[in-house]
Structure 1
Amino acid sequence: MVVKARLFVAKVSSKVATQLSKIGPGAGKNIPGYVFSKVGGKQSVSDIAKDLKLGSVLITGTNGKTTTTTLLIKLMSKDLQIRKSFENNTVHSIITAILNQKGDLGIFEYGIRNLEYGIPDTVQKLIDPIGVVYTTISEEHTVVNGVKNPFLSYYRAKILLSKEMTDGVIVTNCDDPRTAFIGISKNDIPINYYGIECDDVVDLLGSTVKCPNCGELLEYSKHTLNHRGVYSCKCGFKRPEPDVKLADIEFNEDNWKLHIVGDLFNYFASKNVQFDVNVVVPPFGFHNIYNILASVTAYVTFTPKLDNIEKNIMDVFNNIDMSFVPPGRFEVIKYNGKNIGMGQGDNGDAVSINVNLMNQYIDGDLEFIYTTPDAEEDDIFNSHYEVIKKINPKHVIVIPGRKSVEKAEEYCNIIKKDFDSVDFYPISYENLDERISKVAELAKNSSYDNVILTGCGEEFAFWESVKRNFD
């Protein structure tokens, strides 16, 4: 009786919070869930999670979470009404979506920076998902709330989101050794792997990482994107075979034609289903190929309706445009005869993705306008710098991307040791409008036909503002 009363009070409190939150920023994405969990406690969160008759699917990773979630929502909405949450990816936004929306299945983006703030094992127990989808895991978020966050701790937090699942399916990227290892280590529930299985997607800038099983450097026979590819280790760990794969791709100037095939386990049918589709999408970079594969694999895994799988996949992707890409993300525009690539790249994986997309347009010398990480973010700079050295720009411009101008200058001095032509613009964070204007001006007035502008900086406050200078 006490539990039911507490649940009732928590629901009433969250409704009040929903109305109040609409007055200010956030529009109810986070506050109602926070109020509900504080008033109702953990048991109440578990109780309202059961309102989802079919359960919920959580999407996590370092990059690609928002795009994969957005695409999965488009696909799953073809079959049934869903409750959803993306971009504001906390447990409180998940609770808010469950409380304020209707639908039998939940599709929720869930970001995890560390164990303390991400509480992945707690979230898994409270939400009890039928699925966890992993995009890719790379080194990012080395500092959380001013505290150094070792990468292994970050990786362990990702693992814990699915470690204690006893029912459901894990969907994971077999081309990424770190996410593949999560699947290989979890042998008590079905695992559906996705990956690239054609020779046309090759990353010449690809990086090598340590084996998640034994710690030795992996051997790669092919890189598809950064540390993703075909790999193996002397300890026996190797890339699993994909259940959903990109079998072929045709690159055209205006579109890409993808051939995707699958033979994978469907949770609700408790059996394998097969599909074979050809879709035409915008030429938006190799990373979005992975996001498509992740969303398609998750859709076929968790849809309760099997009759129109191929039709729904083709309907969604044959009609998609660049508007689905989240604000601030990297894109290449034409400006006065120049190819200018610009957008967020808060970690080495993201910058490498951006460079690979830019590489498709480069014909001649390149200028790199680099916005730096902050103090205590040397790991991010080091991964950025490895990519910068591989692309070997003719000219480098360094601008602070975060608060510390002093640290940005320190990073610039490191770059000057390897490059002859480097300029530094020490514009403070307090003068953000000046920083935005200067970055746009430098790109517009560049003497180079190819300019890439990427690194650290807030998605909305910085990158979208820079892009508006080119409208």
Structure 2
Amino acid sequence: MLDKLRLSIAKASGKSASLLSKVGPGGGGNIPGYVFSRVGDNESISSLASELKYGSILVTGTNGKTTTTTLLIKLISQDVQIRRSYENNTIHSILTAMLKQDGDLGVFEYGIRNKEFGIPDKVQKLIDPVGVVYTTISPEHSQVNNVKNSFLAYYSAKTLLSKEMKRGVIVANCDDPRTALIGLNKEKDVHVNYFGINITDIEDFDSKPIKCPNCGEILKYSHNFLNHRGFYSCECGFKRPEPNVKLVGAELNPDSWKLSIEGDLYNYAISKNVQFSLELNVPPFGLHNIYNTLASITAYASFTPKVENIEKSVKNIFDNLDMSFIPPGRFEIISYDNKHIGIGQGDNGDAVKVNAMFIKPYCKDSVEFIFTTPDEYEDDIFRDQYEVVKSLNPDHVIVVPGRKSIDKAREYYEIIKKDFETADFYPLDYEEMDKRIEKLTELAKESKYETIIMTGCGEEQAMWESIKRNFINR
């Protein structure tokens, strides 16, 4: 009786808090969930989460979380009313969505950079998700508050989000050995549906040795798609599991892509396997979004209660997709004045690699790379990003601070100038963001090169989206 009363009071308090001004822990959007958790207790949180008829799905990973969540929401909201949220790094954001929205299923992005701030084990215990989706895991986001954390600790924190699951489905990228191992280790407890690429037409242009997440030895790759994603095996017996949802064909043309996808996976809602075959026509949105497409389709087919709609619903979303689905500030290729200009955030080495692979087919003649640098304490990020710059071998490089420190950007520029003697440096001030945006736009528009890639660090909306809007009306 007291528990029910406490839950009711916590709910009322949380909903009332949404009327307050938008200040408080984690930003204004978190206030209702924050107040709910303070007035209630752990049992109140679990009770609130249990009110969702079909449970909750959490989407996590290093890259691809927001886009995968966006696509999954588009897909599954055709079949069931959902509660949803994006770009979450606190349990308060999830609770806020649960309090303020109606729906039988929760779809929540959940970013985790370490155990202390992300509390993944606590989130798993209290929310008790029926699904956890792993996009990909790499070292780029293991730095928190200018402190470089161990990648093993970062990887462990991601693992904790599903480690104690005893029901539901884990969706994992089988091309990524790190997410694949999470899935393999949980097959004894829950169903695991893997997604991946099953063609060799797509190939990385600069792959590096990758350690086996199971034993620490170097993995053997027969094919690399992108960085650590590919066909791999190890002498310890660990190897890439077969995907349940797989890309089996791709026609990648400049104006549109045709993707052939086959699926045979376990559906949690009906407790049995379902099969499907898809031919999708999508915009040329880059290799990373092929993975996001596979992840979202796998998650959708794993949890929709209307399995008879899978093929129709997926085609309805993807055949009508345009580039507006990508989150603000993400990389796009724009045609301008007989030039191809790729613009968007690439705040780590993996993201810059993805952007470079996206624009590489357009790099037939002269190429200019406008590189926006990381900040202080981000030398590891710079090294990974700069390896991609060198691999693309542009005819000219322009260096601009991507974050705050002009001195650090100049230090990075001096390193770049050793390899690219004609490189230029523009010390554009972070505090004068409008001028920085104006100058970066001008550099791209007035470039004499036929292909320009502008990527690196910088604020998603405050910088990258503003630059793109100087080229795109939407």
Judge same fold: TM > 0.5, yes or no.
yes
What TM-score do the two structures reach when normalised by structure 1?
0.96
> Paired residue for 2:468?
467
User: What amino acid is aligned across from residue 303 of structure 2 in structure 1?
Assistant: F
> Paired residue for 2:390?
389
> Paired residue for 2:64?
64
The answer to whether structure 1 residue 318 and structure 2 residue 319 are counterparts is yes
Deviates more, 1:302-311 or 1:57-66: 302-311
What SS does structure 2 have at the residue aligned with 1:223?
A: strand
8 Å contact 2:114–2:142 — kept in the other structure? no
Report the Cα offset of residue 146 of structure 1. Answer: 3.4
Matched residues in 2 for 1:81 and 1:22: separation?
27
Deviates more, 1:406-415 or 1:125-134: 406-415
Point out where structure 1 has 5 or more consecutive residues left out of the alignment.
none
Report the Cα offset of residue 88 of structure 1. Answer: 4.1
> Paired residue for 2:203?
202
Report the Cα offset of residue 121 of structure 1. Answer: 0.5
Matched residues in 1 for 2:151 and 2:410: separation?
25
The answer to whether structure 1 residue 31 and structure 2 residue 31 are counterparts is yes
The answer to whether structure 1 residue 73 and structure 2 residue 42 are counterparts is no
8 Å contact 1:345–1:354 — kept in the other structure? yes
Report the Cα offset of residue 162 of structure 1. Answer: 0.4
Rate the CA distance shift 1:23–1:239 in 2: closer, same or farther, 3 A.
closer
Equivalent residues in 2 for 1:293-308 (5 A)? 293-308=294-309
What SS does structure 1 have at the residue aligned with 2:371?
A: strand
Report the Cα offset of residue 27 of structure 1. Answer: 9.4
Matched residues in 2 for 1:168 and 1:88: separation?
21
User: What amino acid is aligned across from residue 364 of structure 2 in structure 1?
Assistant: D
8 Å contact 1:21–1:27 — kept in the other structure? no
8 Å contact 2:62–2:141 — kept in the other structure? no
8 Å contact 2:59–2:109 — kept in the other structure? yes
Equivalent residues in 2 for 1:249-288 (5 A)? 249-288=250-289
8 Å contact 1:175–1:229 — kept in the other structure? yes
> Paired residue for 2:125?
125
Matched residues in 1 for 2:135 and 2:21: separation?
31
Matched residues in 2 for 1:231 and 1:437: separation?
45
User: What amino acid is aligned across from residue 96 of structure 1 in structure 2?
Assistant: T
Matched residues in 1 for 2:143 and 2:136: separation?
19
> Paired residue for 2:92?
92
Deviates more, 1:240-249 or 1:229-238: 229-238
Residue by residue over 1:10-42, the C-alpha shift from the partner in whole angstroms, topping out at 9 and shown as x without a partner, is: 111111111224699999632111111122122
> Paired residue for 1:399?
400
Equivalent residues in 2 for 1:43-62 (5 A)? 43-62=43-62
Rate the CA distance shift 1:28–1:53 in 2: closer, same or farther, 3 A.
farther
Residue by residue over 1:291-314, the C-alpha shift from the partner in whole angstroms, topping out at 9 and shown as x without a partner, is: 110011001111122222111111
**Percent identical residues:** 65
Residue by residue over 1:414-457, the C-alpha shift from the partner in whole angstroms, topping out at 9 and shown as x without a partner, is: 21222222111222221222221221111112121111100000
Rate the CA distance shift 1:356–1:302 in 2: closer, same or farther, 3 A.
same
User: What amino acid is aligned across from residue 293 of structure 2 in structure 1?
Assistant: I
The answer to whether structure 1 residue 143 and structure 2 residue 136 are counterparts is no
User: What amino acid is aligned across from residue 61 of structure 1 in structure 2?
Assistant: G
Matched residues in 1 for 2:275 and 2:89: separation?
32
What SS does structure 1 have at the residue aligned with 2:94?
A: helix
8 Å contact 2:89–2:118 — kept in the other structure? no
What TM-score do the two structures reach when normalised by structure 2?
0.96
Deviates more, 1:24-33 or 1:310-319: 24-33
What SS does structure 1 have at the residue aligned with 2:40?
A: helix
Report the Cα offset of residue 168 of structure 1. Answer: 1.0
User: What amino acid is aligned across from residue 153 of structure 2 in structure 1?
Assistant: S
Residue by residue over 1:74-93, the C-alpha shift from the partner in whole angstroms, topping out at 9 and shown as x without a partner, is: 11111111111113453211
Matched residues in 1 for 2:363 and 2:25: separation?
41
Rate the CA distance shift 1:417–1:216 in 2: closer, same or farther, 3 A.
farther
Rate the CA distance shift 1:296–1:48 in 2: closer, same or farther, 3 A.
same
8 Å contact 2:249–2:261 — kept in the other structure? yes
Report the Cα offset of residue 280 of structure 1. Answer: 0.8
Equivalent residues in 2 for 1:415-434 (5 A)? 415-434=416-435
Deviates more, 1:122-131 or 1:271-280: 271-280
Tell me which stretches of 4 or more aligned residues in structure 1 moved more than 4 Å. 21-28
Matched residues in 1 for 2:223 and 2:362: separation?
23
What SS does structure 2 have at the residue aligned with 1:156?
A: helix
User: What amino acid is aligned across from residue 286 of structure 1 in structure 2?
Assistant: L
User: What amino acid is aligned across from residue 105 of structure 1 in structure 2?
Assistant: L
Report the Cα offset of residue 6 of structure 1. Answer: 2.2
Matched residues in 2 for 1:267 and 1:3: separation?
30
Matched residues in 2 for 1:253 and 1:402: separation?
33
User: What amino acid is aligned across from residue 355 of structure 2 in structure 1?
Assistant: N
Residue by residue over 1:342-372, the C-alpha shift from the partner in whole angstroms, topping out at 9 and shown as x without a partner, is: 1000111110010011112111121111111
Matched residues in 1 for 2:458 and 2:378: separation?
13
8 Å contact 1:28–1:96 — kept in the other structure? no
> Paired residue for 2:249?
248
8 Å contact 1:21–1:31 — kept in the other structure? no
What SS does structure 2 have at the residue aligned with 1:29?
A: helix
Report the Cα offset of residue 412 of structure 1. Answer: 1.4
Q: What value does the CA root-mean-square deviation take over the aligned residues?
A: 1.8
Rate the CA distance shift 1:281–1:21 in 2: closer, same or farther, 3 A.
farther
User: What amino acid is aligned across from residue 456 of structure 1 in structure 2?
Assistant: C
> Paired residue for 1:163?
163
Matched residues in 1 for 2:186 and 2:236: separation?
18
> Paired residue for 2:214?
213
8 Å contact 2:178–2:213 — kept in the other structure? yes
8 Å contact 1:85–1:109 — kept in the other structure? yes
> Paired residue for 1:101?
101
Residue by residue over 1:232-274, the C-alpha shift from the partner in whole angstroms, topping out at 9 and shown as x without a partner, is: 2222221111111001111222211111101111112222111
8 Å contact 2:136–2:173 — kept in the other structure? yes
> Paired residue for 2:329?
328
What SS does structure 2 have at the residue aligned with 1:307?
A: helix
